[in-house]
Structure 1
């Protein structure tokens, strides 16, 4: 039997990167002592006030079809919070609720792009960006970001990648995997290019509430950008709700109408009890997010302090989020060998960051997704593993 070419466009190295994570999950299910730092799934329980709202909604019978684009109170709350954070004028008609920001990215790509178009994406990029762009028939054009500059964008290189076929610029700020927060000056330059060349911008801001030292700026708030920007958001990371699958896209009303028709075919809306829980999450956002941000800051500082002392490793201090990039080239191992040998010998799973793009070759990504005691133990295991190497990637003895 034959399959469509879409199947081929959805495959590749980026989507195969999860193999080590799946192996770690299977080991954990077998009762093995493993520490999984390879995925951004927070160890926190979803805050009780959110859970109780969902339970109450279930018991109240909110188990029927709900509005495909999201109920008006939820969309209005998302728009109000977005306007408060960015200063952008937005209302419920500018918002569609979707099952996670990744679905928002996928649907947006299908609505904006088609065969023959090019989409510029700074690299390293989140693993599913490429498949999402290619599903529309468009071509993804990666723009390398220099690790020596802390993985910050080279705006000149981005401009040089623009051609008559360029339709959009996609990026994440804060970025997964690097933890980089784009400074206002870089966003202003992207905005100038978008206006000059009449481009769409898709800004993935899932980690916007988890910034540390650097201020998060939404590009939609800049002059001339609201009408050409799609902003993606989610409750997964900021509220410890990855399994609830609550995300959204914010953009021009006409585009949201197109996304709504696509959602009708693909998703048919979020469950009503989940929407009630999401509304409660937004209503209680200030305290929930502040607490989680501080926990992630402590975990970041712990791991950076410990692993920065390990000969052969070079850590980059993330400006936001729940991940840290570590340069392991000093160990003499490739990233594939490092991650798998570490997992097999010490039971710690990290992700080979080269899956996010060749710019990140030589780096691994680890997540601050277990408590501080287990993170400290993971650091000890990594230290032991690296100390057992001879500098050429061979085990001593």
Structure 2
């Protein structure tokens, strides 16, 4: 049977990165004491007021089709939320609702990229970006985010990348997944400068924006001259512990939204109204649980940084935002794959191998900080124990 070549573009390292995680889930279901640090699913539950709003919407019979770009009330709420988060003034007409941030990023790439176009993407980057750009017919121009710089951008590297053929735009993630780095204002200003001078669009995944805990979040869309070329993707999955709700959005110029809505029509038609009701409550309701989560990730990041930093065999990059931390295992003499495999087999801790995020993350493991402090402490003990046993 013949399959489209576009499906083949969705493969690669990113599609197999969670193999150890899946095995860890199965082991946990068998009753083994596995600590799963391999997926960014918050350990917090969605707040009671959010769940109540969803239930009330269901009880009211809101189980039919919704508006394709999203309910006007939700789009208004998102516009105000985006304005608070980024400082960029937008209206509901700049907002389109989508089923989760990954779907939102995928659709944005389809709108912005044509066959043969290139996009600058710093590396390490989220594992599916190569696939979603490839599916749009585009290619990636790499910009290295080196561990020696704390995985932060060197503007000179960005400038060189911008001179590559057929470059149409720049794709960013801040706070970054997998590194936990939050772009500085100087870095974001460098991106904006290149974009304005070279007439490039900038697509930014800001899913972890409200979870920036060691450095303020700066959105490219908030800088002068960027409103007509900046696209921001966000969701409530991580900030409000709503990963299972599958709702996200894109904010951009009105002509972008018009094109984007055509894809929403073809892909999902609309997000479920009862999910949108929960999203409205999440944005407009009590934000105390979100502040609690942000503080919890800050404390967990500091704990892992301090504990792993005690090892002569490992180094750790201090996370500045989000729920991930990177550990460098190269001094053990093991590859990241060997370390991750052995750590799971011997200590029952699952991690994600950094190589899947790009060559700059080779020899690193990504840890999700999705347990409370005592469990994160135990995870660190297991990691240190394994490193001590297996360092060459």
Please, what TM-score do these two structures have when normalized by structure 1?
Answer: 0.96
Secondary structure of the 1:174 match is coil
Say if 2:74 is the partner of 1:74: yes
Question: Where does 1:312-327 land on structure 2 (aligned, <5 Å)?
Answer: 312-327=313-328
**Alpha-carbon distance in structure 1 between the residues aligned to 2:388 and 2:135:** 44
**Counterpart in the other structure of 2:217:** 216
TM-fit CA distance, 1:311? 2.4
| Cα displacement (A) at 1:185 | 1.1
Give the structure 1 partner of residue 273 of structure 2: 272
Which runs of at least 4 in structure 1 moved beyond 3 Å after TM superposition?
none
Query: Which residue matches 1:196?
Result: 197
Q: Is structure 2 residue 258 aligned with structure 1 residue 239?
A: no
Structure 2 unaligned regions, length at least 5: none
Cα drift, residue 32 of structure 1: 1.5
Distance 1:285 1:16, change over 3 A: farther
Tell me, what secondary structure is at the counterpart of 1:226?
coil
Q: Aligned with 2:137: secondary structure? A: coil
For residues 84 and 385 of structure 1, the distance between their equivalents in structure 2, rounded to whole angstroms, comes to 44
- Which SS does the other structure have where 2:228 is aligned? helix
**2:14 paired residue number:** 14
* CA distances 1:203-240 after superposition (whole Å, capped 9, x unpaired): 11111001112111111011110100100111011101
Alignment of 1:66-105 (within 5 A): 66-105=66-105
Q: Distance in 1 between matches of 2:148 and 2:88?
A: 34
Shift in Å at residue 80 of structure 1? 1.1
Partner of 2:335: 334
In the alignment of these two chains, the number of paired residues is: 391
Q: Indicate how the Cα distance of structure 1 residues 362 and 234 shifts in structure 2: closer, same or farther if over 3 A, else same.
A: same
CA distance in 2, matches of 1:85, 1:11: 34
Mapped to 2, the partners of 1:349 and 1:259 lie a distance apart of: 37
State the superposition RMSD in angstroms.
Answer: 1.1
* Matching residue of 2:296: 295
User: In 1, distance between residues paired with 2:16 and 2:100?
Assistant: 20
The residue aligned with 1:259 is 260
How far did 1:70 drift?
0.8
Shift of 1:292: 0.8
Q: CA deviation at 1:84?
A: 2.6
Give the corresponding residue for 1:61.
Answer: 61
**Cross-structure match for 1:108:** 108
1:151 CA drift (Å): 0.6
Gaps of 5+ in 1: 393-397
Secondary structure of the 1:77 match is: helix
Instruction: Identify the residue that residue 356 of structure 1 maps to in structure 2.
Output: 357
Within 2, Cα distance between the matches of 1:44 and 1:286?
Answer: 14
Say which SS state the counterpart of residue 120 (structure 2) adopts: strand
Residue 277 of structure 2 aligns to a residue in which SS?
helix
Larger mean CA deviation between 302-311 and 195-204 belongs to 302-311
**Helix, strand or coil for the counterpart of 2:327?**
strand
Residue matched to 2:152 = 152
Q: For residue 127 of structure 1, what is the aligned residue in structure 2?
A: 127
C-alpha distance 285-331 of structure 1, shift in aligned 2 (>3 A):
farther
Report the counterpart of residue 395 of structure 1 in structure 2: none
1:160 counterpart SS class = helix
TM-score of the superposed pair, with normalisation by structure 2: 0.98
SS of residue paired to 2:49: helix
How far, CA to CA, are the matches of 1:82 and 1:53 in structure 2?
21
